[in-house]
Structure 1
Amino acid sequence: MKDPVLPSTNASDPNPIATQRSARTLLPGHIHLGVAKEIVPTLSAFGIDPDPVIRVAGLDPRLFEDGANIIPHAALGRLLTLCVARTHCPHFGLLVGQRATILSLGLVGRLMQHSETVGDALNALVSNLSIQNRGSVPSLTICGETALFTFSVYQPETESVDQITDGSLAVAANAIGAVCGGEWRPMEVLLPRAAPKDPEPFRRHFRAPVRFNQEVATLVFASGDLERKVVGADPLLRAVLEERINAMKDPSASTFVDDIRRLLRTQLTSNRCSAEEIASLLTMHRRTLSRRLKGNGIRYRTLNNEIRFEIARQLLEDTKVPLAEIAAALGYSEASAFTRAFRRWSGQSPLAWRTGLP
């Protein structure tokens, strides 16, 4: 693991806690603590004082007193890297996610609780998580009698992607169980990480078969579950929550590029990522998409390649997925084309990157 890089601090800010709390709209690359707040009790359960570990990651331990506080997504990755090293626990992220509940998802979790059906609840999560997390993105796909809930990290060069993903799927399973009923469980779980020596903690939490070395992190379950009614949902409270969430969304240009990155991360591995298709998802013309990106100083092809490289890097580092399968997942017809592209991005072949050879 790489040594953590400490972010710069602003000594002139007399109250960084208040500054974090005052932010309503998330900037790209930032998250509300939410689920990550559970890092503190998880470390404590190992007999480790959390405060020194949090400080080494470049964060103020006081931030973890309130799940509404905001931190950089990159800092979360650094902190999880340190936590795994200090605890010697390869499934630390899973333990963090286990402790989290639907309420750890803040306003979005509340909205899920008051959605009419389980499908509405998951669509609320997919549509609105960006108000709380600008580093990862969920998606929901229905394939006949099967539903696929996936979760992906899209911020470039984030550390401990496997830990973030483990924890995210763990709390997603908890949240779906909360709106479905306590006996709900997925049919199977797919994880884009190498199989651990002891997979039992994963099987125990998800109560389902777990497959490692997969291309995307996914909860697989019966699509009929989406039709279940959410017990105790209040339509009036739902309307209030939707209004509050919509008021927190930022339509400005500062988040437009980040929104495209989020979309690309969910679409790339399904090969539905042409500029025309992305523009269609945003209900705009292809030329409008290009013009808005150009106004932000970036081209669509650059963003597309950036996300491809990030997915490829994650799969090469965290899994044993064969190169041919990674190439196919990223839309390359031949492994050789993927190898040429990866060499342009990194200066190395995919095999050299995976093995750590120069």
Structure 2
Amino acid sequence: MASVEHVDRLRMSDLVPVPPDLFRRVAALGVDIPDLLERVGLSTAQSTFSTAEQMAFWRTLAEVAPHRDIGLRLGSEKTADQRNLAEIAASHAATVEEALQRIARYKRLVCAERVTVARQGDEASIQFRWVHARGPIPHLLVECVFAAVVKLVHDASGSALVPRRIELARRRADAALLEGHFGCTVAFDEPQDRLVLASEDLARRFRPQRGEIYAQLLPSLEAALDDRTPTFPDEVRDVLRRHMVGDAVTIARVARDLALTPRTLQRRLSKEGTSYHALLDEVRRDTALRLLEATSLTEGEIAFFLGFEELNSFTRAFRTWEGTTPRRWRTSRAA
């Protein structure tokens, strides 16, 4: 079945601003901020952080937080004056779909992140991909982001948004907590983290806002996008990650997503000192390591998601990457 996707392809830098109220809000939920930041290697005076520092912050927060629902609360208890630029722009949209398109466009101003909304049949899935992240995305961060989207739609439309389901690329844990919060089924051991809505929810209208606020904000938002420009290979990596769900990701498909011919895509990558096959191999490796570490998917299931025709091909590739088999690598990480 064909799908329709909305994804903004402007590029972005890795260094992003620390939300000005983040440390205060985390402290208000019972976390010792000086201890947390010391563990991560950050300081309260830091105004920006890299993706690696951001991931370390959320992983460590999970270790020290006194309450398991802290990610959900950070997302769902955010007030209008605590919203970032992308969320402010989204709150002034006319519909849920337009709001998500604005988040997709402007999210890079507050995080090295891509947002994709894919409509297929009677469902629409929302994915957040941290462009420079390596390894599993911290579960508290995923929960916070999904909860924030649901809260924004509730506030802007005046009625609750109940997803069709939540899909998480991690082992089963806290199912009752998550299902109780979102009011829907939560599926674990999925290849990607996705917030899945009914397609009809995209047409839900928002309550009228003061249009002049967004009109005044728009020029500065557009100007700021010019500074978020990573390399062309990052564009290709992002498309590869988005389609790595069991289908064969061909160069023709990637080129089509980037509005290029395969020949042009290969030429541009060559100028950057890399190739399509090198990037495919890199993304397959990163995805394999993430799924082996974070989920209970079998080696055969992971091979399928990566687009390998048979398990032996995946095992041979993995030996080239890591010098061992997928099973032995997973066992060593669990030890």
Superposed displacement of residue 122, structure 1: 1.0
- Aligned 1:206-221 pairs, distance under 5 A: 206-221=182-197
Letter in 1 for 2:84: G
Unmatched tracts of structure 1, length 5 or more: 1-24, 64-68
Q: Does 2:100 match 1:122?
A: yes
Question: RMSD between aligned alpha carbons?
Answer: 2.9
Tell me: CA distance 1:252–1:166, structure 2 relative to 1, closer, same or farther (3 Å): closer
Q: Secondary structure at the match of 2:279?
A: helix
Q: Is the 8 A contact 1:153 1:161 kept in 2?
A: no
Q: Does 2:171 match 1:187?
A: no
Q: Secondary structure at the match of 1:344?
A: helix
Superposed displacement of residue 95, structure 1: 4.1
- Aligned 1:183-262 pairs, distance under 5 A: 183-196=160-173, 198-250=174-226, 254-262=230-238
Mapped to 1, the partners of 2:175 and 2:74 lie a distance apart of 16
Superposed displacement of residue 103, structure 1: 6.1
Letter in 1 for 2:305: A
Q: Does 2:64 match 1:86?
A: yes
Q: Secondary structure at the match of 1:215?
A: coil
Residue 38 of structure 2 corresponds to 55
Letter in 2 for 1:45: L
Q: Is the 8 A contact 2:135 2:289 kept in 1?
A: no
Letter in 2 for 1:82: T
- Aligned 1:154-165 pairs, distance under 5 A: 154-158=131-135, 160-165=137-142
Matching residue within 4, 23, 29 for 1:45: 29
Letter in 1 for 2:118: T
Mapped to 2, the partners of 1:159 and 1:52 lie a distance apart of 24
Superposed displacement of residue 166, structure 1: 2.5
Q: Secondary structure at the match of 2:114?
A: strand
Q: Is the 8 A contact 1:269 1:330 kept in 2?
A: yes
Mapped to 2, the partners of 1:282 and 1:26 lie a distance apart of 12
Superposed displacement of residue 81, structure 1: 2.6
Residue 4 of structure 2 corresponds to none
Residue 166 of structure 1 corresponds to 143
Q: Does 2:7 match 1:30?
A: no
Letter in 2 for 1:61: T
Q: Is the 8 A contact 1:74 1:158 kept in 2?
A: no
CA displacement, residues 114-173 of structure 1 (integer Å, 9 cap, x when unaligned): 222211111222233223221x33211112111111223442434653333232222222
Q: Secondary structure at the match of 1:220?
A: strand
Q: Is the 8 A contact 2:114 2:131 kept in 1?
A: yes
Q: Secondary structure at the match of 1:61?
A: coil
Q: Is the 8 A contact 1:101 1:174 kept in 2?
A: no
Unmatched tracts of structure 2, length 5 or more: 1-9
Mapped to 2, the partners of 1:288 and 1:104 lie a distance apart of 43
Percent identity between the two aligned chains: 25
Letter in 1 for 2:65: T
Letter in 2 for 1:263: V
Residue 344 of structure 1 corresponds to 320
Mapped to 1, the partners of 2:69 and 2:323 lie a distance apart of 32
Superposed displacement of residue 53, structure 1: 1.8
Superposed displacement of residue 301, structure 1: 1.9
TM (norm. structure 1) is 0.79
Tell me: CA distance 1:245–1:318, structure 2 relative to 1, closer, same or farther (3 Å): same
Q: Is the 8 A contact 1:271 1:329 kept in 2?
A: yes
TM (norm. structure 2) is 0.84
Superposed displacement of residue 74, structure 1: 0.4
Mapped to 2, the partners of 1:305 and 1:210 lie a distance apart of 31
Residue 144 of structure 1 corresponds to 121
Q: Secondary structure at the match of 2:126?
A: strand
Q: Is the 8 A contact 1:253 1:296 kept in 2?
A: no
Q: Is the 8 A contact 2:55 2:133 kept in 1?
A: no
CA displacement, residues 169-226 of structure 1 (integer Å, 9 cap, x when unaligned): 2222223333343322112111111112x43321232122212222211112211111
Q: Secondary structure at the match of 2:45?
A: helix
Tell me: CA distance 1:112–1:266, structure 2 relative to 1, closer, same or farther (3 Å): same
Mapped to 1, the partners of 2:184 and 2:84 lie a distance apart of 27
Q: Does 2:286 match 1:310?
A: yes
* Greater alpha carbon shift after TM alignment, 87-96 vs 254-263: 87-96
* Greater alpha carbon shift after TM alignment, 322-331 vs 235-244: 235-244
Q: Secondary structure at the match of 1:356?
A: helix
Letter in 2 for 1:229: R
Residue 55 of structure 2 corresponds to 77
Letter in 1 for 2:43: D
Mapped to 2, the partners of 1:99 and 1:107 lie a distance apart of 17
